[in-house]
Chains A and B, each alone.
Chain A
Amino acid sequence: GAGVSQSPSNKVTEKGKDVELRCDPISGHTALYWYRQSLGQGLEFLIYFQGNSAPDKSGLPSDRFSAERTGGSVSTLTIQRTQQEDSAVYLCASSLVAGDYYEQYFGPGTRLTVT
């Protein structure tokens, strides 16, 4: 079946612009996670959704970052007024249910470059 998909696969934007990154999880998966992979910080957690609610937003780096999930499915990560340090690969993962016993399936990522 279809895996986790993310769009766009690559995004180049100018400093100060806003960007939206999209994640389509596996159908029926209730838990959705966003992570960021950058050279300086490695792989780091950003935010977690259970259904449409985000019980843990602790990894969002600043208030320029926000995310939402609608219909218990698609999620959008928005970065406002992008900075060069936002350049990274943004990964989305979903699992059937939140928890250690349920595998997280990762998407291919969106590579964001801020010039």
Chain B
Amino acid sequence: GNSVTQMEGPVTLSEEAFLTINCTYTATGYPSLFWYVQYPGEGLQLLLKATKADDKGSNKGFEATYRKETTSFHLEKGSVQVSDSAVYFCALTPPNAGGTSYGKLTFGQGTILTVHP
């Protein structure tokens, strides 16, 4: 079946540090890949996505590149801020037999990020 594995957390960084959260996946065919973020007290929201191999998703200074050869979608940010403290979820949607997806998300376990001033 389809699955997503994220690096264990929690991750604690100082402001302006470089962030990497590793994500690897197992899926049949070519899934679409996503990063979602859950800020304290708020609902899940889409951070970025990539729908085909070698695509790079980016938003709010975060980036992730769809690597088919390593089945990975690692999240990176060059300089984190205190406001980036949140839980980050890597997720995928698989293509169905017809090659189109209806958006059913399979999530990783989540990584808690805490950024200190």
Mark A residues whose CB is within 8 Å of B.
Answer: 3-4, 31, 33, 35, 42-45, 48, 50, 55-56, 91, 93, 95, 98-109
In chain A, what residue has the closest Cβ to B105? A45
Say if the beta carbon of B82 comes within 8 Å of chain A.
Answer: no
The answer to whether A42 and B107 touch across the interface, beta carbons within 8 angstroms, is yes
The answer to whether B102 and A98 touch across the interface, beta carbons within 8 angstroms, is yes
The answer to whether A104 and B107 touch across the interface, beta carbons within 8 angstroms, is no
Question: Which one of B43, B51, B93, B108 contacts A107 once the chains associate, using CB atoms below 8 Å?
Answer: B43
In chain B, what residue has the closest Cβ to A55? B102
Tell whether A100 pairs with B49 under 8 Å between CB atoms, given A35-B105, A42-B107, A45-B105.
yes
In chain A, what residue has the closest Cβ to B45? A106
Interface of B, helix, strand, loop or mixed by DSSP: loop
Interface of A, helix, strand, loop or mixed by DSSP: strand
Say if the beta carbon of B46 comes within 8 Å of chain A.
Answer: yes
Say if the beta carbon of B17 comes within 8 Å of chain A.
Answer: no
How many residues of B are in contact with the other chain, CB < 8 A? 22
Question: Which one of B49, B89, B103 contacts A95 once the chains associate, using CB atoms below 8 Å?
Answer: B103
Question: Which one of B44, B45, B103, B107 contacts A99 once the chains associate, using CB atoms below 8 Å?
Answer: B103
The answer to whether A99 and B102 touch across the interface, beta carbons within 8 angstroms, is yes
Residues of B within 8 A of A107 (CB): 43
Residues of B within 8 A of A45 (CB): 104-106
The answer to whether B44 and A106 touch across the interface, beta carbons within 8 angstroms, is yes
CB proximity of B102 to chain A, nearest CB, Å: 4
The answer to whether A91 and B103 touch across the interface, beta carbons within 8 angstroms, is no
Say if the beta carbon of B70 comes within 8 Å of chain A.
Answer: no
